[in-house]
Amino acid sequence: MADPKKMALVASRTPAAKAAEAELKALYDFVPTDEADLLIALGGDGFLLQTLHAMLRKKKLKPVFGMNRGTYGFLMNEWRPQLLEARVEAAKAFSVLPLAMKAVSVKGKTHRSPAINEVSLLRETRQTALIEVSVNGRVVIPELACDGVLVATPAGSTAYNFSAQGPILPLGSKLVALTPISPFRPRRWRGAILPDDMTITLRVLDPDKRPVSAVADQFEVRQVERVEVKADRAEALTLLFDPEHALDERIAMEQFTV
């Protein structure tokens, strides 16, 4: 019989998450994060993203089993303190590829950051953004007039991307959604679905008069001139879900939510 997996516990600062943390600590043995085989994360989707980004920064990737102690918790399992070890053992694992963002500011400084949900470009002022869109070095839209544009992963396709009328992508599809935000011109362009190994380059055409910021999940760069985005296959993350609460089915079923 295999030894039980060593679990570490992390929780957001909200009262609900802290109460759940205390309850679990009274029921189970946890180890420090560096000694753990996997993490139990208590909070909402935002806290889960923070946890995953912390692992990416430290280059110490571990599977994460999240339980919802936040608001919506689309990426989380149901909060149940009972039989946690059995749930983890029976959990279904899903691989999530983050995006790698390289943003160059108007001052020439380069910023790099991963994005688990999406990379979005957003106008900073009342002026409409003007953005040139290229795929693998080929200009596909010379001038996109819009409030912004985003590149979303399958895991993030049900979030901001979906609110911007972008498509929901099946988990494991190896695709990304390229979705305009309030596009004005070209009027009939509503976005594209692309293989995730393609490099998408977004160049701001008038960054002085029409400044644009780039956001990789929660990391923002102001006044960007150019942004490159592609999937980072070297940094695959693993999320664990109860079989009856599997992420791939939840993402697929979001297409029928009314």
* pLDDT, tens digit, 9 for 90 and up, residues 111-138: 999 999 999 999 999 999 999 999 999 9
Question: Residue 157 — very low, low, confident or very high, per pLDDT cuts 50/70/90?
Answer: very high
Q: Where in the chain is the domain with CATH 3.40.50.10330?
A: 7-97+236-256
In the residue annotation, 208 being an active-site residue is answered as no
Asked whether residue 149 carries a pLDDT value surpassing 70, the answer given is: yes
10 Å Cβ neighbour count for 1?
3
Superfamily of domain 7-97+236-256, CATH level 4 = Probable inorganic polyphosphate/atp-NAD kinase; domain 1 (3.40.50.10330)
* Residues linked to residue 228 through DSSP beta bridges, in sequence order: 102, 201
Cα of 123 vs its chain's centroid, Å: 21
Question: Residue 154 — very low, low, confident or very high, per pLDDT cuts 50/70/90?
Answer: very high
Confirm whether residue 136 is marked as ligand binding: no
Q: Quickly name the fold that domain 99-234 has.
A: Tumour Suppressor Smad4 (2.60.200)
Dist. CA 54–CA 45, nearest whole Å: 14
Identify the active-site residue in 29, 45, 208, 232: 45
Asked whether residue 17 carries a pLDDT value surpassing 50, the answer given is: yes
What is the mean pLDDT of the segment spanning 173-196? 94
Confirm whether residue 217 is marked as ligand binding: no
10 Å Cβ neighbour count for 61?
13
Asked whether residue 227 carries a pLDDT value surpassing 90, the answer given is: yes
What b/e string do you get for 118-144 counting C-beta neighbours within 10 Å, with b at 16 or more? bbbbbbeeeebbbbbbbbeeeebbeeb
User: pLDDT digit string (tens) for 39-85?
Assistant: 999 999 999 999 999 999 988 899 999 999 988 888 999 999 999 99
Confirm whether residue 163 is marked as ligand binding: yes
Q: Where in the chain is the domain with CATH 2.60.200.30?
A: 99-234
**What residue type is assigned to position 72 of the chain?**
Y
Confirm whether residue 155 is marked as ligand binding: yes
Confirm whether residue 43 is marked as ligand binding: no
